A and B are shown apart, each in its own frame.
Chain A
Amino acid sequence: MSNNPNNWPLWEIFIQSKRGLEHKHVGSLHAADPQMAIENARDVYTRRQEGQSIWVVPAEAISASQPDDAAMLFDPADDKTYRHPTFYTMPEGAKYI
């Protein structure tokens, strides 16, 4: 085995904390293949009962928006408050909306 863990590809880890909820990004780690990534994720990210399902995604498969484009992409939404559903009252007990 190489001493340099960077020889292993990077994986982004998503954990589902409860059935029905979304898988949330929790971090990343190195592993040689998907199976090892899942086992490593189990040990690194679910030791304190954080989850009941794990997704692993090769980091290189993720395309990200450029920070430089942030103004162009996101600022135009600033003054469009009518897009927010603030005119509805939330039903009591609806936690995950």
Chain B
Amino acid sequence: MSQTNALFTYTLRLADDLLILSHRLGEWCGHGPVLEEDIALTNRALDHIGEARNLLTYAGELEGKGRTEDDLAFLRPERQFLNTKLVEQPNGDYAHTIVRSFLFDAYHLPLAEALLKSSDAQLAAIAGKAVKEAQYHLRHSSDWLIRFGDGTEESHQRAQAALDNLWTFTGDLFTQDEVHQAMVKAGVAPDLAKIKAAFDATVDTVLSEATLNRPTDGFMASGGRQGKHGEQLGFILAEMQYLQRAYPGATW
């Protein structure tokens, strides 16, 4: 795989995490538990979409086949999406939504901070904008996780259940395959062992304040980065891509 190909793939991985998570959070629009949270979640969704758009546009340029951000978002089949499986997991109850975002945020913030120093100027510039947003996202999801964990008996149980359910999807965040190793070598991407250390520190601090137990690492789901997804992603894409598939080139 050439360097440009690896960079294209790496950029898509970054973009797809954000695109798919933003779609999941967008599903809460109009259904939030309270008005203020409804707006907070859709705000986050918009932050993620904003970053995804920049990354997809850049990926299109890297590929050099004239594909736009919209082509990449709306016309790629499931097997070409390279998001980690964590972000495609269904919203579930609010504890699941919060835990999914918390686990992603605890990974996304140190990643964005590390990408500031990327040898790739474009990725570094995109990370520059993302860092501030990611700081707020992590604060928002941590606050809620602490409220749930250290809240009532029911909220504690639901938070722990969500954590236990979603933990299996955290391993893939830190898997370094050939593509990633090439990017680390080129100074584009950080060594994920460092990101994992920051992730572990955040998770341990927040979980201890939330009086929740960190699940033990058992079976860890993988494959998302190679385009192998659960059935959930198909449903997301069916909804997300319907309009462009039914009315190609439609604009408004």
By a beta-carbon cutoff of 8 Å, the part of chain A in contact with chain B is: 1, 3, 5, 8, 29-32, 35-36, 39-40, 42-44, 47
CB neighbours (8 Å) of B139 from chain A are: 39
Q: Which single residue of chain B is at the shortest CB-CB distance from A40?
A: B36
CB neighbours (8 Å) of B250 from chain A are: none
**B179 CB-CB contact with A under 8 Å:** no
**Within the complex, which residue of A1, A8, A32, A40 is in contact with B40, where a contact is CB–CB below 8 Å?**
A40
Q: Which single residue of chain A is at the shortest CB-CB distance from B136?
A: A42
Contact indicator B43/A47 (Cβ below 8 Å): yes
Contact indicator B40/A39 (Cβ below 8 Å): yes
Contact indicator B35/A5 (Cβ below 8 Å): yes
Q: Indicate the size class of the contact surface on chain B.
A: 10 to 19
Across chains A and B, the number of contacting residue pairs, with CB separation under 8 Å, is: 35
Contact indicator A39/B155 (Cβ below 8 Å): no
Q: What distance in Å separates the Cβ of B178 from its nearest Cβ neighbour in chain A?
A: 41
User: What are 17 A-B interface contacts by the 8 Å CB criterion?
Assistant: A1-B94, A1-B155, A3-B33, A29-B35, A29-B36, A30-B34, A30-B35, A30-B36, A31-B36, A39-B40, A39-B139, A40-B39, A40-B40, A43-B40, A43-B43, A44-B35, A44-B36
How many angstroms from the CA of A5 to the CA of B35 in the assembled complex?
8
CB contacts under 8 Å to A, within B22-71, are: 33-37, 39-40, 43
**B120 CB-CB contact with A under 8 Å:** no
**Within the complex, which residue of A8, A35, A42, A47 is in contact with B34, where a contact is CB–CB below 8 Å?**
A8
**B143 CB-CB contact with A under 8 Å:** yes
Contact indicator A44/B155 (Cβ below 8 Å): no
Q: What distance in Å separates the Cβ of A61 from its nearest Cβ neighbour in chain B?
A: 20
**B228 CB-CB contact with A under 8 Å:** no
**B117 CB-CB contact with A under 8 Å:** no
How many angstroms from the CA of A74 to the CA of B164 in the assembled complex?
62
Q: What distance in Å separates the Cβ of B113 from its nearest Cβ neighbour in chain A?
A: 21
Q: Which single residue of chain A is at the shortest CB-CB distance from B37?
A: A40
**B147 CB-CB contact with A under 8 Å:** yes
How many angstroms from the CA of A42 to the CA of B34 in the assembled complex?
15
* Apart from the given pairs A3-B33, A40-B37, 4 other A-B contacts in the complex at a CB distance below 8 Å: A29-B36, A30-B35, A35-B143, A40-B40
* Chain B positions 136 through 151: 1 when the CB is less than 8 Å from some CB of chain A, otherwise 0: 1001100100010000
Q: What distance in Å separates the Cβ of A82 from its nearest Cβ neighbour in chain B?
A: 47
CB neighbours (8 Å) of B140 from chain A are: 39
How many angstroms from the CA of A31 to the CA of B136 in the assembled complex?
18
How many angstroms from the CA of A29 to the CA of B36 in the assembled complex?
7
Contact indicator A1/B36 (Cβ below 8 Å): no
Contact indicator B143/A39 (Cβ below 8 Å): yes
Q: Which of A30, A31, A39 has the most CB of B within 10 A?
A: A39
CB neighbours (8 Å) of A35 from chain B are: 143
Q: What distance in Å separates the Cβ of B212 from its nearest Cβ neighbour in chain A?
A: 17
